[in-house]
Amino acid sequence: MKRRTKQPNPVFAGLGRLRIRVPAIARQQARAAIARRTAGVTFAARLAFENVDHFYGDQQTLRDVTLAAEPGEVLCLLGPSGSGKTTLLRIAAGIEPLARGRLFLNDREIAGPNTHLPPERRGIGLMFQDFALFPHLSILDNVRFGLTALSSSDSKGEALAALERVGMVDYAQNYPHALSGGEQQRVALARALAPRPAVLLMDEPFSGLDSRLKDSVRAETLAILREARATAVVVTHDAEEAMRMGDRIALLRDGALVQLGTAEDLYHRPANIFAAGFFSEINVFECRVSGGVAQTPVGPVKASAFADGSPVCVAVRLPGIEITETPCGVPARVVARRFLGVEELITLVVAGGEKPIDARIRAGQLRSGARDVSVTVNERDILVFERNG
């Protein structure tokens, strides 16, 4: 009988994207392992940060952060570079120490003034931004890597079950170089879920994927997390990605928590001008309130919640600016327009305005060559904030 040979190490050239499918018996083993489970991949836990501070040298990177990921919830940490998102993840994983505050897994303190549970004893999984697959190990062995407490046969069964869950069991004998970026991402997810962590941490998990692939892989990953009933904390700098994935979103800036809530909360009721600008493109007008009204270049805006003379920032979302050639609003002139497929980005100057404003309208809505137009604003796309709020 001819023996099956193991795939050569990927350093050898000429293998390209050759894929070796596993025998049907391996798929049967994977499905049997899943069938034996009675509670999914893991028992989801609550991960809570309480008054957390952190420093890199003299620079404070986290400032009194208190928030929690509830059991089975997908919590997205959102913010610009340097806002402290990844530092929070590293503290949760046990890679970074706390300067002040405490960290709880359910009701158990795992980090604090007198506590620091080692990473391997926390029951917390970490999925790296670049997937961090070992190129010299097969896909199966990559997934088995963290299952050191199990016997060889048990670890193989668990790894095959994890690969089956992400739709990659057929490629268990392949090596990472033979897989696409999306397939490598699914293998990395399988490896993170195989030990059944109480909480899964994901650091910018889709940043290395092209835009067309990102949407499908993100949807697949979310479905797997739901099916696995895992608590997940996902770091991203993309507001749309956070809204697509997160049950709740924690918005960070300069190491501080700006706002915590659902996507609807943060979009419709942003805490300040920073939050408003992070979730949508906006035009910002600085003015003062008089008689419960703020006068802006695009017309008067209700500001009855503010005292007369109060300095305010009025934010107007770009889709909320409506443009017509019929005289029925504030006169304006088109100075630039950019076709973006479904939409057009229009730049205008308005009478009395100190700087141009932008609007997004449906492509074809405004006649080609139109210059002199009128502008009105949809009230639902107007937000008013205290000037320094």
Phi-psi region of 166 (alpha: psi -120 to 50; beta: other; left: phi over 0): alpha
pLDDT digits (tens, 9 = 90+) for 148-174: 778 788 888 888 988 888 888 898 998
Class of residue 349 by CB neighbours under 10 A (exposed 0-12, middle 13-18, buried 19+): middle
Q: Is 367 left (phi over 0), alpha (psi -120 to 50) or beta?
A: beta
Among 73-77, 126-130, 181-185, 287-291, the least confident range: 126-130
Alpha carbons 36 and 23: distance in angstroms, whole number: 21
- Hey, which CATH number is domain 19-279, 3.40.50.300, 3.50.50.60, 3.40.50.1820, 3.40.190.10? 3.40.50.300
- For the segment 359-388, the average pLDDT, to the nearest whole number, is 94
283-386 folds as OB fold (Dihydrolipoamide Acetyltransferase, E2P) (2.40.50)
pLDDT band at 247; cut points 50, 70, 90: very high
The pTM assigned to this predicted structure is 0.83
Give the span between the Cα atoms of 247 and 224, in whole angstroms: 15
pLDDT score recorded for residue 152: 82
Domain ranges of the chain: 19-279, 283-386
Largest CA distance in the chain: 93
pLDDT value at residue 70: 96
> Band of the pLDDT at 13, cuts 50, 70, 90?
very low
Residue 24: the pLDDT is 55
User: Which percentage of the chain shows pLDDT scores above 70?
Assistant: 89
The mean pLDDT value of the chain amounts to 87
CA distance 244 to 215: 9
Q: Quick check: 29 pLDDT over 70? A: no
- Of 203-212, 214-223, 274-283, which has the strongest mean pLDDT? 274-283
Mean pLDDT of 136-145: 90
Interval 60-86: pLDDT, tens: 999 999 999 999 999 999 999 999 999
For 325, which DSSP code? S
Statement: residue 9 has pLDDT above 50:
no
